[in-house]
Amino acid sequence: MSEATIVPGKPVPLSRLIDVPGLVTAYHAGKPDPEVAAERVSFGTSGHRGTSGQNSFNALHILAIAQAICFYRKAQGIDGPLFLGRDTHALSFPAFVSAIEVFAANDVVTMVDAEDGFTPTPVVSRSILTHNRGRSAGLADGVLITPSHNPPQDGGFKYNPPHGGPAGSEATDWIEAAANRFMADPGQIRRHSYDTALRSGLVHRHDYVGAYVGDLASVLDMDAIAASGLNIGIDPLGGAAVRYWEPIIARYGLRATLVNPDTDPTFRFMTADWDGKIRMDCSSPYAMAGLIGMRERFDLAFANDPDADRHGIVTRSAGLMNPNHYLTVAIDYLFSHRPDWREGAGIGKTIVSSSSIDRVAEKLKRRLVEVPVGFKWFVDGLTDGTLGFGGEESAGASFVRRDGSVWSTDKDGLIMGLLAAEIMATTGRDPAEHYARLTESLGAPCYERIDAAASPAQKALLKQLRPEQVAAEELAGEPITARLTAAPGNQQPFGGLKITTRNGWFAARPSGTENVYKIYTESFVDGAHLARIQDEAKAIITRTFKAAGLQA
């Protein structure tokens, strides 16, 4: 009998779901070899990720990373509580147990959910900032156990220092190096049993849900949403936000329905993504097929990924919004409806986000801060109010409170969903209708990301490219206006190349996991112009490789 077929956008056959007991058994029984590159700790800005069956996310990894974080805290003088959150992936709870065993043995006070529930990334970020407000000592930090929207078999473990946002490379490099030393010499890892840790007095129950829900009115006009009577559909995609939406609905009197209140580590309720994998990507029309299919039932609907740091907006008028389109609308609305934000508050975007944001910033007469990929680059600006908003093209964003003070320094998919409801409640138009009106004056861009093959040597060259190595003068019939290898907003290298013209641009960055480079492209002319940009982008990169002696 042939194996059950997986169709993108359709439910996955039960026979193709993950084996949860086998996955958890491999987490405990697997013995990763620190001499094998694929089995070492690799702690990037999104933390360490992997899966237990491939010896890339096992108990030894988490014990070693947790011990490294304890030593890092001590070296940095961080002696306040550590806020610990986890999502609904199958490996998240075993990793949660391992982390607590190490944190307690190292005398770290750890704040866990009061009801042993799930805790989203933005909730941990906000908790860190709330604790640290006005303090110069006893500062808190946090750990998020999540691989974000990755498939069900994956695990993830990331660190947020006292600023509340994703750790920078100075922290992640230190933690990674220390963790790999501990993997090679596990005798250095201090560890209690889980029962001993829970009895130690160091594991504290914290009301994450009540604190977050009760504070939402400081960042959103919840009264306007309630008064509008909008019929809202909400899908947590089986993630950590599931326990937050019902309290939000009840507290603020919203007319909203949680269309899927279930959690299941196999994520059996998901539809397959474009490649047949289960991936809780709320920006994918395939993964979001279920909610898109319900759009006629609601005035507006939205979803979050498993750690709720991303958002997907579904409108009755247009279906699932492109993330760049929604970021553009959100920025235009917020900077027009937040009178108490400081006049100099800027707009943060990543180097590969749509230039619609540039045009909105110009329309609003607001400073644009374009940074490399990674939300860590928005942390300082959101903290001191010099940024009102920071957003990534991958459907992640956050913004400051209504009074201009910091809300979170990590992406918050819950407030981005509720913002869509506020926009519709106060203006009478859904975000897609707003985007259509904006394009009348700003232009309607075509945006697409594609991949092209590249050898490891070519990827290394692309990552370290200098503008003067690019000889092209034109792109798709227009003069090149900028050749960038560092982001204009902070002059930090972004590990690739961006070429801009008046009506289009492309950016090329090497993949961290595959022998390809990613080409982000946008045209404000039409689809044919976009295709020409894509073709010429590949030609420009190929010529650059050849000039460096690296043949295609």
Positions annotated as catalytic residues are 148
d(C-alpha 220, C-alpha 339), whole Å: 13
Phi, psi of 369, rounded to the nearest 5 degrees: -120, 105
d(C-alpha 218, C-alpha 467), whole Å: 44
427 by Cβ neighbours in 10 Å (0-12 / 13-18 / 19+) ranks as middle
HSE (side-chain half, CA atoms, 13 Å) at 164: 27
What is the torsion angle, in degrees rounded to the nearest 10, for the CA atoms of residue 163, residue 165, residue 168 and residue 173? 100
Region of residue 374 (phi > 0: left; psi between -120 and 50: alpha; otherwise: beta): left
Residue 26 tokens read as: 């491999």
d(C-alpha 125, C-alpha 85), whole Å: 10
Residue 484 tokens read as: 């960038």
| Residues whose CB is less than 8 angstroms from the CB of residue 361 and which lie 6 or more positions away in sequence, other chains included | 331, 347, 367, 368
Residue 43 tokens read as: 């702690």
User: Edge-to-edge strand order for the sheet containing 256-258?
Assistant: 256-258, 232-235, 300-304, 311-315, 319-320
The percent of the chain in helix, strand and coil, each rounded to the nearest 5, is 40, 20, 40
Give the position of tokens 């203006």.
Answer: 427
Helix (H) or strand (E) holding 369: strand 368-371
What is the torsion angle, in degrees rounded to the nearest 10, for the CA atoms of residue 462, residue 42, residue 158 and residue 270? 80
d(C-alpha 387, C-alpha 372), whole Å: 16
Q: Which amino acid, 470?
A: V
